[in-house]
């Protein structure tokens, strides 16, 4: 059978609908699938269409339209490829498949709404090819990553793997807060740094590594100690905060600031062979204080130097934090909000626990007025156990 004969037969079998009717049906719940090539789609596509392309149609359709009873309308440039694609979809089991008559050209001629999809340049298409091919990412997702602004608290054990992989994934802006300098004892886990940079400010060492990996990323360094006086202005330039700090005062400050400013906090903490990771969503519920309402007294908080850690543990936990960031930016999957993941490296065990909001949480309960920041006395290695209300000059360590 020649192509023309096959198309003639398909025209008899598959309903053709006008662009305006397709728009009406799409608004009523039908999926509009654009099967044109990426170069054509880059010139514009029908508003609300899903750009799956002809080549990946069979692979991607189940993600885009999981219910084979959902009506599907296929659109291409005129309506030739869409007829062939619609035939394939019927063979895959989709029951209600139609074709947009005249395709995108007629859609435009009728003055229906057109959108210009985000377009990656040649470097980005090559650099991010292996993740852009995923239907969850694509050009649109890559554009979202490029616009994301992520602040990493600490360029240490957790911040290092998180920063490296977020940079690799193409997160557009990475902020790094750390006031510390690279020490040789950091290098077994803080893989952003190198032996020949011992003594450098961690932020500068981190920037050099990230820019060498991916020069497209804008690295903003904040070589300072985080405190209640600077946290608001610092956080307000970002969408997501990754908590990789190494002390309780900073963790509570990060949580409280994220709640106040409506930012997502991606939490990670490690000690020895064990790690914890969770997500405290924008607006809290649950937040870090729902989990642990107050820091431990100094005698129960081991010194940062004494506690020790196997370098792989922050490596794993930092990568899980990076994964949560990517999911958050792309709006995919199920976040760790409301769940606490525990990792035990000795037995290679992951355990998931349910977290619930504390109805009495002073910081995130509905209608609660923000109580203000608390600068706990620096007690990692200190003998002081008391907390006190912050003055603007009180400083806290913020490095990882």
Partner 1 sequence: MCTVPIVIDFFSACHRKLRYEPPLRRYAKMQQATSPTKIRIELPEALRPLADGAACVNGRGFTVAEVLTDIGHSHPPLVNRILTRGGGLRPHVKLFVNQSDIRQRDGLETRLVESDVLLVVPSVAGG
Site of interaction with partner 1 (CB under 8 A): 154, 156-159, 243-248, 251, 268-274, 276, 291-296, 300-302, 304, 307, 309, 314, 340, 342, 346-347, 349, 351-356, 358, 380, 400
Nearer to partner 1 by C-beta: 58 or 274?
274
Query: Of the two residues 351 and 383, which places its CB atom closer to partner 1 in the complex?
Result: 351
Non-local (6+) Cβ contacts of 395 within 8 A are 225, 227, 375, 378
CB of 162 to partner 1, least distance (A): 10
Compare residues 41 and 374 and give the one whose CB is closer to partner 1: 374
Considering beta carbons, is residue 59 or 362 the nearer one to partner 1?
362
Name the minimum Å distance from CB 171 to partner 1: 19
Measured in degrees and rounded to the nearest 5, phi and psi for residue 31 equal -90, 135
Q: How far is the CB of 334 from partner 1 (least distance, A)?
A: 16
**Residue 29 burial (CB < 10 Å; 0-12/13-18/19+)?**
exposed
In the complex with partner 1, which residue's Cβ is closer, 22 or 164?
A: 164
Smallest distance from partner 1 to CB 307, Å: 6
Residue with Cβ nearer partner 1 (166 or 291) = 291
* Sequence-ordered alpha helix ranges (H) in the chain: 3-13, 19-27, 38-41, 57-64, 80-91, 103-109, 122-127, 129-132, 138-147, 159-169, 202-213, 231-235, 248-261, 288-291, 304-307, 312-330
Taking the least distance from each CB to partner 1, the nearer of 238 and 248 is 248
Report the residue number, 34 or 358, with the smaller CB distance to partner 1: 358
Distance, CA of 57 to CA of 172 (rounded, Å): 29
Least distance (Å) between residue 272 CB and partner 1: 4
Contact 305, 291 (CB under 8 A): no
Let me know: does 298 contact 383? Beta carbons within 8 Å.
yes
Contacts of 355 (CB under 8 A, 6+ apart): 278, 286, 290, 291, 338, 339, 340
How many angstroms separate the most distant Cα atoms in the chain? 87
Q: Strands 50-51, 97-100: parallel, antiparallel or unpaired by DSSP?
A: unpaired
Minimum distance, C-beta of residue 276 to partner 1, in the bound complex (Å): 6
**Residue 125 or 365 with smaller CB distance to partner 1:** 365
Q: 3-state DSSP call for residue 342?
A: strand
What would you report as the CA-atom Rg of the chain, rounded to the nearest whole angstrom? 26
Looking at the Cβ atoms of 324 and 358, the one nearer to partner 1 is 358
Report cis status (omega within 30 of 0) of the bond before 286.
yes
Question: Which residues have C-beta within 8 Å of that of residue 294, sequence separation ≥ 6?
Answer: 387
DSSP code for 381: T
3-class DSSP assignment, residue 98: strand
Smallest gap from Cβ 360 to partner 1, in A, equals 10
Helices (H), 331-398: none
Dihedral, CA atoms, 31, 37, 41, 43, nearest 10 degrees?
-160
Nearest distance in Å: CB 353, partner 1: 5
Q: Give me the least distance between CB of 271 and partner 1, in Å please.
A: 5
Nearer to partner 1, 201 or 302 (CB): 302
Q: How far is the CB of 297 from partner 1 (least distance, A)?
A: 8
- For the bound state, the minimum distance from the C-beta of residue 283 to partner 1, rounded and expressed in Å, comes to 20
Residue matched to tokens 């985080």? 226
């Amino acid at each position: 059978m020649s192509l023309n004969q096959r198309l003639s037969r398909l025209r008899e079998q598959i309903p053709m609908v006008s662009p305006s009717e397709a728009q009406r049906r799409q608004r009523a719940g039908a999926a509009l699938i654009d099967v044109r090539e990426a170069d054509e789609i880059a010139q514009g596509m029908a508003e609300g269409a899903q750009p799956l392309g002809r080549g990946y149609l069979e692979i991607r359709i189940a993600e885009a339209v999981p219910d084979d009873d959902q009506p599907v309308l296929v659109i291409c440039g005129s309506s030739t490829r869409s007829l062939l694609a619609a035939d394939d979809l019927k063979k895959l089991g989709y029951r209600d498949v139609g074709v947009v008559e005249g395709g995108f050209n007629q859609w435009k001629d009728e003055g229906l709404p057109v959108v210009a999809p985000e377009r990656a340049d040649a470097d980005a298409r090559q650099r991010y090819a292996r993740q852009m091919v995923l239907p969850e990412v694509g050009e649109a997702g890559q554009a979202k990553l490029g616009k994301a602004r992520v602040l990493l608290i600490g360029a240490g054990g957790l911040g290092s793997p998180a920063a490296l992989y977020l940079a690799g994934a193409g997160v557009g802006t990475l902020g790094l807060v750390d006031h510390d300098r690279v020490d040789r004892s950091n290098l077994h886990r803080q893989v952003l740094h190198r032996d020949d940079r011992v003594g450098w400010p961690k932020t500068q060492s981190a920037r050099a590594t990230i820019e060498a990996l991916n020069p497209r990323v804008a690295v903003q360094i904040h070589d300072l100690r985080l405190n209640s006086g600077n946290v608001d202005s610092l956080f307000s330039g970002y969408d997501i905060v990754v908590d990789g700090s190494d002390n309780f005062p900073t963790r509570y400050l990060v949580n409280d600031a994220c709640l106040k400013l409506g930012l997502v906090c991606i939490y990670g903490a490690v000690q020895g062979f064990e790690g914890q990771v969770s997500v405290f969503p924008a607006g809290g519920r649950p937040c870090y204080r729902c989990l642990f309402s107050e820091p431990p007294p100094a005698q129960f908080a081991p010194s940062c130097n004494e506690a020790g850690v196997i370098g792989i543990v922050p490596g794993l936990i930092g990568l899980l934090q990076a994964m949560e960031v990517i999911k958050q930016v792309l709006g995919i999957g199920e976040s760790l909000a409301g769940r606490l993941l525990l990792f035990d490296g000795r037995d290679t065990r992951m355990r998931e626990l349910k977290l619930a909001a504390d109805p009495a949480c002073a910081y995130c309960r509905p209608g609660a007025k923000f109580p203000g920041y608390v600068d706990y006395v620096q007690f990692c290695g200190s003998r002081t156990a008391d907390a006190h209300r912050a003055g603007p000059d009180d400083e806290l360590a913020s490095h990882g």
